[in-house]
């Protein structure tokens, strides 16, 4: 079996530049979120979901052109399950109330526009439901953050917990900032990807932190920068292998999964790249900036323990 030589890259040489770059990106993301905002899908803003059935594979581009010339412009058209089934996501209509949007009126109007299609269902999503979903997503993110802080603090120390939280917040802000700047639709699948990336990135950070703790205890005369670099190099092959395999899977979802999970795969692709970077230049660099030392990770000895152990 081949034995790969452990590399010897000086990652921490660029730690200050990495922290400044990450801070600038996060500030830009926050500004974009407050000024431009997210392009929320109808799950958050409210609207109408319509399922159409065709006898032959539907021509999505023709459907989009037909809708753009009608009162239903601005809707999202995508396949649903099979080429013959189409899902329409229509934005809220100013000319119709929620009750009207959920009534047969939508179906009758679509039958006139798309005579070859069979309207199977019409569902209305009210704006109040969308607000509740947005609030629930924010609460879920905050709960996850608190859980991460407690978990890492119990497993390591407070300084390591702060580093993990800073890296997690960094990843979330970068993803949200990208969706804000690009104005890609942010739907429930994108929110699910953000929550998944929080756990995915944390897992990589924990692996590196475990190796840092081991090396802090075994490399007694090495300074913290040396310990950090050694730990990052020792876990580099594992990090690359894990992220490459995950990226291949997510890329297959992006290109072959269809429009329904496009937001999910896009957010996850960004999260994998950013999570790899943040584990090194945000989490580890933050721990080093907070002044973590070998003494922080040594088990606390009780007074008189040595005396009690004597014969």
Residue 112: CB atoms within 10 A of its CB come to 8
- Rounded-to-integer distance, Cα 146 and Cα 162, Å: 11
| pLDDT of amino acid 93 | 62
Helical ranges in the chain per DSSP H: 15-35, 42-45, 60-68, 98-101, 104-113, 127-155, 158-182, 188-218, 224-234, 236-256, 262-278, 285-289, 294-297, 305-309
What is the block-wise mean pLDDT of the chain (311 residues), using blocks of 10 residues?
68 92 95 91 78 87 84 76 82 56 69 85 72 79 84 86 91 95 89 89 90 86 88 91 92 84 92 92 91 68 49 51
| pLDDT of amino acid 63 | 86
Q: Provide CB contacts within 8 A for 144, sequence distance 6+.
A: 195, 198, 199
- Domain 47-125 class in CATH: alpha beta
| pLDDT of amino acid 78 | 79
Architecture of domain 11-38+129-297: Up-down Bundle (1.20)
**pTM as predicted:** 0.79
Domain ranges of the chain: 11-38+129-297, 47-125
| pLDDT of amino acid 64 | 84
| pLDDT of amino acid 175 | 95
| pLDDT of amino acid 298 | 61
In this structure, what token pair is assigned to residue 279?
């584990």
One-character DSSP codes across 189-253: HHHHHHHHHHHHHHHHHHHHHHHHHHHHHH-TTS-HHHHHHHHHHHTHHHHHHHHHHHHHHHHHH
- Rounded-to-integer distance, Cα 244 and Cα 234, Å: 17
- Asked if 131 and 143 touch (Cβ cutoff 8 Å), the reply is no
């Amino acid at each position: 079996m081949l034995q790969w030589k452990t590399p010897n890259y000086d990652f921490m040489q660029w730690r200050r530049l990495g922290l400044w770059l990450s801070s600038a990106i996060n500030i830009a993301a926050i500004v974009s979120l407050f000024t431009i905002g997210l392009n929320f899908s109808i799950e958050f803003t409210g609207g109408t979901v319509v399922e159409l059935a065709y006898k032959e594979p539907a021509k999505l581009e023709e459907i989009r052109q037909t809708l753009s010339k009608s009162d239903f412009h601005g809707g999202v058209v995508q396949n649903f399950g099979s080429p013959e089934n189409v899902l329409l996501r229509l934005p809220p209509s100013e000319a119709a109330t929620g009750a009207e949007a959920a009534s047969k009126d939508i179906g009758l109007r679509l039958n006139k526009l798309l005579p070859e299609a069979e309207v199977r269902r019409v569902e209305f999503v009210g704006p109040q439901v969308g607000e509740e979903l947005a609030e629930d997503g924010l609460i879920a993110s905050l709960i996850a953050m608190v859980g991460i802080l407690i978990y890492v603090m119990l497993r390591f120390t407070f300084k390591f917990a702060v580093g993990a939280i800073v890296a997690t917040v960094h990843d979330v802000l970068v993803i949200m900032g990208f969706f804000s700047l690009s104005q890609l639709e942010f739907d429930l699948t994108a929110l699910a990807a953000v929550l998944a990336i929080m756990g995915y990135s944390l897992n990589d950070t924990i692996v590196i932190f475990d190796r840092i703790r081991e090396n802090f205890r075994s490399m007694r005369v090495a300074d913290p920068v040396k310990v950090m670099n050694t730990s990052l190099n020792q876990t580099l092959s594992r990090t690359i292998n894990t992220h490459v395999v995950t990226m291949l899977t997510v890329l297959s979802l992006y290109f072959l999964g269809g429009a329904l999970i496009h937001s999910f795969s896009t957010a996850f692709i960004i999260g994998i790249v950013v999570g790899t970077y943040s584990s090194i230049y945000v989490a580890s660099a933050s721990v080093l900036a907070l002044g973590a030392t070998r003494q922080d990770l040594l088990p606390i000895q009780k007074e008189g323990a040595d005396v009690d152990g004597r014969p």
